[in-house]
Amino acid sequence: MSLLVVGSIAYDSIKTPHGEVYEVLGGSAVYFSLAARQFGPVRLVGVVGEDFRPRDVDFLKQRDVDTAGLETVAGGKTFRWSGEYSPDMNSRETLSVELNVFEDFQPKIPDSFRDSPFVFLANGAPGTQIAVLDQIERPKFVMADTMDLWIQTQRADLIELLRRIDGLLLNDSEAHLLTDRPNVIAAGKAILEMGPKRVVIKKGEHGAILFTAEEIIPLPAYPVESVRDPTGAGDSFAGALMGHLTKRGAVDRGVFKEALAHGTIMASTTVEDFGVDRIGNLTAVEIEDRFSRFRGFLAL
């Protein structure tokens, strides 16, 4: 089965208590792809400027990422983001955002990608996410991410999107904002009512909660002591989750729980180094080792 992701590709400048990096490869679709490729090839759709470094394209290609959907805007500049994390790493301040070519991004799905059964709509304007869906033939499982900006400014589009997707991934503060419910369990149940059959609320270092019509399943995060840079943790969580589902080719209760576990394990490695340094060089043995430990932790 094939997996498609549509999202941002960026150059990030990041400062944390453990150091700083300047204009390193990042963006939601990049972190997603580097996580998902551990489970099989990934089809990437995104936009960059003329300044995008050829070695970054090579980096992705060498890692099973199909860049046929990578659009380069002539004369354009790649999306840039810079941010600084608080001492406890639980919050961050955006220092600057230059959307550049991402601002007018109208994703064009290559013909060869239109049959993708598994689709992830990374964080973006819900209207754009819908426009992507319109280009996919008959997806089997579509999951989307969103953020506070769209909940506040493009709510109608988001509500329409929710009726067309199978799963929504969002963090706890976004879930509260979307539903106006302070209790996270109540918030997740309210989002189920809006359309998606599966809702995953991410809680960062506190894990994630899966909501379905039948049950509410909490999972802790895989414990990590050495958090150097939290950037991309949520996107690599999504990448491992969707990658595992695509590899298994089916979405049932057991497979989805395994997929969530792979999500938290992937996030736990991503944060151990700056940018994509860790996730870009992660081995299957490391993943298998953490997965078996995690299963052991949770066996009662």
Residues 150-209 that bind its own copies (CB under 8 A): 182-186, 189, 203, 205-207, 209
Contact between 229 and 217 (Cβ < 8 Å): no
Q: Which residues 233-292 are close enough to bind its own copies by CB under 8 A?
A: 257-258, 261
Give the shortest CB-71-to-its own copies separation in angstroms: 39
What are the residues facing 65 on neighbouring strands? 42
- Contact window for its own copies (CB under 8 A) among 58-66, 92-100, 213-221, 234-242: 213-221
Shortest gap between Cβ of 15 and its own copies (angstroms)? 16
> Least distance in Å: CB of 212 to its own copies?
12
CA 154: distance to chain centroid?
Answer: 20
Tokens encoding 152: 């506040």
Cβ(238)–Cβ(34) below 8 Å: no
Q: How far is the CB of 147 from its own copies (least distance, A)?
A: 20
Count of residues interacting with its own copies (CB under 8 A): 36
The minimum distance between CB 42 and its own copies, in angstroms, equals 24
Number of Cβ within a 10 Å radius of residue 50: 12
Cβ at position 298, least distance to its own copies in Å = 4
Edge to edge, the sheet with strand 42-49 lists: 65-73, 42-49, 3-6, 118-121, 141-145, 167-171, 198-202, 208-211, 216-219
Based on CB atoms, which residue is closest to its own copies, 3 or 261? 261
Fill in the amino acid letter for 193: E
Footprint on residues 45-84 left by its own copies (CB under 8 A): none
Nearest-angstrom CA–CA distance, 152 and 133:
22
Q: Is 22 in the site for its own copies (CB under 8 A)?
A: no
**How many C-beta atoms lie closer than 10 Å to residue 59's C-beta?**
16
Among 54, 74, 75, 87, binds its own copies (CB under 8 A): 87
Which H or E run contains 70?
strand 65-73
Helix (H, G, I), strand (E, B) or coil at 54: helix
Q: Which residues bind its own copies (CB under 8 A)?
A: 87-89, 182-186, 189, 203, 205-207, 209, 215-225, 227, 257-258, 261, 293-295, 297-300
